[in-house]
Each structure stands twice: as C-alpha cells, then as structure tokens.
Structure 1
Amino acid sequence: MSHDYYVPTVFHRHHRALRALLIDDQAWVVARDLGPLTNCHVDDRLPRKLDPDQWRHERLENHQGDVEQELLFSESAVCELLRVNFYHPEHRGLRQWFTGEVVTGLRSAANPQLPKQRRVAWQGKEYSLMEWQGRSWVRVADVAGLFEGKGHMLLP
C-alpha cells in the first residue's frame, strides 16, 4: 500500500457495523467492532488468548476521515473467538455471516473476475446466490427450500 494507513470496508449485521479489510490477501476485522456484535467485552488482554499471527495493530481511516490505531483480528481469530471465548449458540449465525458475506465480500471486491456471492430474500427466507460467468447459481442444499411447499417446479 502506498500510504501509511488502510481504509476498511464496513459491513452491517442487525444495525451494527463491522469494519473489515484485506491485508496481503488475509481478512482482518477491527477488534472493538466485535463487542457489539457478540455482546462480549473486547479489551487489550484478549490478544494474549490468541496466537501472535492472529492479531496486529494497524492505522485505519475511520468514518470521519481521521486515522487512528486499531487492534485487528484475523479471520481465524474471529472464528476461534466465536467458537471458544465468546461461545453462544446464536454465534453460529454470526460466524456464517462473517465467513459467507464479510470474507467473501472482501475477496470479491479485491478480485472482480472471481464469482460474486450475495444473499437474496425470497418468500421470507434468505438464500445464498453466486453470480459467475453471467449466470446466477444457487447452492444445491438451498434448491429444496426454494421449492418447499410447491406442487411443481417451473423450468426455464
């Protein structure tokens, strides 16, 4: 990077922001943004529970345009924290959102030639949709849910 700070991408879940970015093709998130998402306290002692390669400090631009030092957690650290330190059964959905939308979104934006994944709502349920080579793709696991309760399927 040509300057001495990073500009994160902001993702939202249940009206709470998570700032995330790619550094050397690795997904990183702002540690203090995890607190409101998990209802857990994130402090400066938390990195001691992680391996040294799972956290770092970097200068980031905030939403007001100011640059500040932030503690960042890697993708593996977030998944480990959700599974071990912040364990709660509802965090499975948070982890799925994080790996399925945040990490995927960061990588898609960095590599526009790769398939893009997004969530779509249909008949009150959310499904994962992948756009690739000019076509839309749905996971086989979701196909049954798309036609649940229907007596017939319409084929193109």
Structure 2
Amino acid sequence: MNPALSFPSDSALIPTVFIRHHRQLRAVLIEQQAWFVAGDLARLTNSHINERIVHKLDADQHRTALLLNSHGECEEELLLSDSGVYALLMVNFYHPENRSLRQWLSNDVLPALRDAQQHNPHLPRRRVAPALGRELGLLEWQGSVWVRLGDAVRMMEIGS
C-alpha cells in the first residue's frame, strides 16, 4: 500500500477515530456497513494482519479504500468489515482481552459510528430513488449523486 497518495481529497473517505488504550481505531461507514482500518486493529490486538490472514476472510469482509489521514493526505488502507473483525478476534487473534474489545466495538464504536454518519454530511449516504418505474440505488457523497455504472447503462437502455 502506498502511504501518501496524491489524489484529490474529495476522493478519500474521512474516517471517524476512536481511542482505546491510547491507540486509535479508524472506521468508516460505506453503504451503512462498518469498515475498520486493519493496521489499527493489528496495533490494538498486538497482532499482525498479513496476506495469509486476510486470505482466510471471505471476499466481502475486506477491501481497500482511500482514507484522509490527520495530515490531510490520502492513504490507501486495508479495511475489514465488522464481521471480518469479529472473525479475526474469535479465530486468529483469540485472547481473553479480545472479548472486551469485541464488546467495545459492538456496544460503543458501532452505535457512535452510525450516529456520526447521521450528523456528518461529508460521509457517503446510500438512498434509493425511483427511476423509469424501478428503484435505483444511489450514493450521495460530498454534494454529488453517484450511480453504479451498470445501473446507469441499464437505465439508458430502458429509457431508449
């Protein structure tokens, strides 16, 4: 992963930062799904998240994304879904302390992350809108409405 990429800052997600034991855990919501920075989770659990461990997760439990760091630079980060995090905590990183980490994530972090999304217009929001007699999934982000390319092509085919 490239540490400091020079992409426009409007193409990067702005994470919410949580602190536990003086260590940060950055998280974002993408289409109402919670995603956590893998490197932050590794530091919280005193573990290493390598390619072998990520390969054990299902494809929908990990992804990369551009995040804006505290210095205003874009960084490509490996993200883990909440189910991916729980799988790692219970299988690969089993330690009694991880039970309280899981409880902290479930009881404090996830509700706060979802609440922050409702009050932060800079984070992406998913909505559904009617279009040509169908419902179309849209993503509102930073003042623009985004449509998946495949959906846009299908809508153009239907409309013509």
| Shorter-chain TM-score tier | 0.5 to 0.7
Please state how far the C-alpha of 1:45 moved relative to its aligned partner.
Answer: 3.0
Q: Secondary structure at the match of 1:3?
A: helix
State whether structure 2 residue 123 is matched by structure 1 residue 93.
no
Deviations 1:13-68 (A, max 9, x none): 01000000100000000000011110111223322010000000001101111001
TM-score in terms of structure 2 length: 0.66
State whether structure 2 residue 112 is matched by structure 1 residue 105.
yes
The residue aligned with 1:137 is none
**1: CA distance between counterparts of 2:26 and 2:52?**
20
The residue aligned with 2:68 is 61
Over 3 Å off, 4+ runs: none
The residue aligned with 1:5 is 12
RMSD of aligned Cα (Å) = 1.4
Please, which of 75, 80, 83 is the counterpart of residue 73 of structure 1?
80
Tell me, which stretches of 5 or more residues in structure 2 are unaligned?
1-8, 120-160
1:13-92 equivalence runs, <5 A: 13-92=20-99
Q: Secondary structure at the match of 2:88?
A: helix
Question: Which has the larger share of helix?
Answer: 2
**2: CA distance between counterparts of 1:7 and 1:110?**
11
TM-score in terms of structure 1 length: 0.68
**1: CA distance between counterparts of 2:77 and 2:107?**
24
Tell me, which stretches of 5 or more residues in structure 1 are unaligned?
113-156
Identical aligned pairs, as a percentage?
54
Number of matched pairs? 111
